Chains A and B, each alone.
Chain A
């Protein structure tokens, strides 16, 4: 499938199934749009009329361009047929029941009381609880036992607020390190925190042991403090920003993300991202709120249009910052065109419910952190393993080819069919389609590809 679009002055052609990207002039853009529908003679006739008066658009030129398009098709870089559908199920089956990543809910409690929290202030609609070392240790053993031949294992310390159970986090990291050599595994830890309890000791440990830290900040003080408040209703911005700045400064180039959420209150979220940049943060991520439709924080259809414009604005501004030698990164615009994911990954997606699971403080397993607390989505536990195998199979069958709505979508090898949790929350089924999410996703990919095109032209 070919997707062509114009953005920021560039004419862009994406050949979805080969992954090829072409930057073209307007004449080639028209030819590529007509090539499959019309004969070369008709194309030439039409374009000679359209571009009458243009010296560079001659009959000879047009035939030469048509020949170039034909050559690209022959080389498998244009109009590449989709031959992946038959392979879609096989890829996940090949992985068997391997588990390679866990989201450890070490604290189902939080020291902030953010009204939009999908985890219901860390409690996930249940009791407050902290994970014991014994449960965490068993979870790590479960991961090792079920990881097959995978070397890289990922563990995210998540909550609620994981720093409320910091001693257990440190003990679990120490335990995991003792298991790496005997089992030939490498643990990669991530810490996702609201920052309230960060101190020098946390900074030192996190920067030594965590491959990545995700720091929750919503941007401008008035935006952040409107929702990210403590139990007295007081905003947290002034308390966390200096701590985040100290942590990032001491991180020495290791990965981190400032991670914000935008809501109906700030569809103009680039102001928040730019504010983060002004605070000295360069690795940024900002996500649309996850909440029930009708919630006062939910994005409206008018907001979605604003957000799409904001994504464009962000991409253009990031190019400007790059040129000025002060680049920022945005999680969704990080495309690795040459060293990116293989087709296996692109079809199979995040692996929720199969190779990726969430573990509650009590050791229950869920397909991912966003399903925790939904009893019907409990997969099993870390002692008995996955007992709800029917549910695991349902998640295993989620892939880029699982939804008929995606059949004519150019972006499905970028989203893998989308987030199962978003689909569930929007439609009641993990195989549903969260349409507003799709719209935003496609816009983000268009912007990210445009940036690559702009960067390549800058290099020439």
Chain B
């Protein structure tokens, strides 16, 4: 695609099937303590 460059990303729809193990870090715990952002959490699902 000449005019469109797609970055490699995790497919969120796909992640509905094997996600949800809950092993990843609680988002607020790590640094900010005053806002809720989840996108910077690493997935820790060994089966994903």
Interface, chain A (partner B; CB < 8 A): 13, 17-25, 27-28, 61, 64-65, 68-69, 71-72, 76-77, 80, 83-84, 87, 91, 94-95, 98, 100-101, 103, 118, 150-152, 154, 156, 188, 190, 192, 212, 214, 255, 257, 259, 285, 287-288, 290, 331-332, 334-346, 349-352, 355-356, 368-370, 413-422, 437, 441, 444-445, 448, 452-453, 456-457, 460
Interface of B is mostly: loop
Report 10 cross-chain contacts, Cβ distance below 8 Å, ordered by A residue. Answer: A154-B26, A331-B30, A337-B9, A342-B10, A342-B12, A350-B36, A350-B38, A352-B28, A415-B37, A422-B34
Interface size of B in residues (CB-CB distance below 8 Å) = 43
Q: From residue 12 to 47 of chain B, which have CB atoms closer than 8 A to chain A?
A: 12-13, 15-16, 18-20, 22-45
- Quote the shortest CB–CB distance from B3 to chain A (angstroms): 4
- Quote the shortest CB–CB distance from B18 to chain A (angstroms): 8
- Quote the shortest CB–CB distance from A171 to chain B (angstroms): 21
> Given A91-B20, A344-B15, A415-B37, are A24 and B4 also a contact pair (CB < 8 Å)?
yes
| Contacting pair B35 A152 (CB below 8 A) | no
| Contacting pair A356 B26 (CB below 8 A) | yes
* Neighbouring B residues of A332 by C-beta, 8 Å: 32, 37, 40
| Contacting pair B3 A338 (CB below 8 A) | no
> Given A336-B42, A445-B39, are A351 and B15 also a contact pair (CB < 8 Å)?
no
- Nearest 4 pairs of A and B residues by beta carbon: A342-B19, A344-B20, A342-B15, A28-B3
> Given A17-B12, A18-B13, A337-B8, are A345 and B29 also a contact pair (CB < 8 Å)?
no
| Contacting pair A342 B20 (CB below 8 A) | yes
> Given A190-B30, A212-B30, A331-B31, are A414 and B39 also a contact pair (CB < 8 Å)?
yes
> Given A25-B3, A287-B34, are A413 and B12 also a contact pair (CB < 8 Å)?
yes
